[in-house]
Amino acid sequence: MTGDAIIEMEHIVTRFGRQVVHEDISLTVSRSEILGLVGGSGSGKTTLVREMIGLDQPSEGRVSLFGERLDQIGAEAIAALRNRCGVLFQGGALFSAFTVFENIAFPLQEYRAIEPALIRDLVYMKLAQVGLGPEVATYLPAELSGGMTKRAALARALALEPEVLFLDEPTSGLDPVTAQAFVQHLQSLHRELKFTAVVITHDLDLMRDLCTGLAILADHHIVAKGTAAEVATSSHPFVHAMFSGVRGQRAFGTMAS
């Protein structure tokens, strides 16, 4: 284990029945890196992230989180590792019967090492951190707009001061202004908290503004990995289409040509 690798995946193969999703994928995420995981619909990005947290097991290969092999440590140890991770699910996955306050307080209460008196302060701090006012605390998830749901879900993901953050399409379904603000929030949070992050995204602007590295998933493999400039030189058809298309040109300029 190298000191700075937070997530290491080695020779990952994933099969659902006869359908092969991943074929020999190796990937390392270093401390404080924000890795953008990019790929076409159905290319297995979410599955790869679920394997990183141990929610799914790969058919073959090894996954290490914080230097610990997930297939060798017990369920209890995995749960302890997950305490150090925050996950923002695509649809937010807020508990619909809880208010926003209770949603964010939930992981803090479950952690048990936090005095109840501090939880209130922490919850309102998290809300402010993601740019939500204190009045939102009493809302139920059904009463929130799409952007507010994402922010509230991010606040919950940040509740236990995670060292690693997994974001599944954080800007999908947001209007451009809200998406831009959301990315800026993530940027400033990253400056402040120095977390490591894996971001699944289709948003080219987000890749440009937030990600320090990109990994492109296509044809069951990681076909390109590196900074945006390095990835853009790849000759793989998917990468080429993504960066030299009209939208790619707009976001990344003429880098690809």
Partner 1 sequence: MRGIHEGNVTNEGTNRRENGQSTTAGRFEPAGYHTVGDEHGRTIVVLTGPWTLRGINGRANTLSQELEKYARNDGKVVWDCREVESLDNFGALILWRLQGFTRGNAIEARPEHAALCERWAQRNTPPENTRSPRVRPLAALSSIARAAQSHLTGFTTLVGQFVLDVLHLARHGEDIPWKDISATIYEAGVRALGITALVGALVGIVMSYLSSLELRTFGAPSYIVNVLGLSIMRELGPLLAAILVAGRSGSAMAAEFGVMRLTEELDALAAMGISRTVRLVLPKIVALAVALPLLVVWTDAIALFGGMVAAHITLGIGMRGFVYALPSAVPVVNFVLGIVKGAVFGTIIALVACHFGLRIEPNTRSLGIETTNAVVTGITAVIFVDAMFAIGFRGIGLP
User: Rule CB under 8 A: is residue 110 a binding residue for partner 1?
Assistant: no
Residue 203 sits at φ, ψ, to 5 deg, of: -85, 110
Least distance (Å) between residue 102 CB and partner 1: 11
Piece of the chain touching partner 1 by CB under 8 A; list 36-44, 89-97, 144-152, 245-253: 89-97
How many residues in the chain? 257
Does position 16 interact with partner 1 (CB under 8 A)? The reply is: no
| Cβ density class 77-113: b for 16+ within 10 Å, e for less | ebeebbeebbbbbeebbbeeeebbbbbbbbbbeeeee
Return the number of the residue (14 or 99) whose C-beta is nearest partner 1.
Answer: 99
> Which among 139-147, 198-206, 210-218, 235-243 is the span making contact with partner 1, rule CB under 8 A?
139-147
Q: Cα–chain-centroid distance for residue 1?
A: 23
96 in contact with partner 1 (CB under 8 A): yes
| Residue (126 or 150) nearer to partner 1, CB | 126
79 binds partner 1 (CB under 8 A): no
The count of residues interacting with partner 1 (CB under 8 A) is 27
- What is the amino acid identity at position 162? P
Binding status of residue 125 toward partner 1 by CB under 8 A: yes
Q: CA dihedral in degrees (96, 151, 211, 28; nearest 10)? A: -40
CA nearest to 248, candidates 234, 224, 232 = 232
When asked if residue 145 is in the footprint of partner 1 (CB under 8 A), the reply is no
List the Cα angle 94/99/105 in 5-degree steps.
80
Q: Using CB under 8 A, list all residues that contact partner 1.
A: 84, 95-97, 111-115, 118, 120-122, 124-126, 128-129, 134, 137, 140-142, 160-161, 192-193
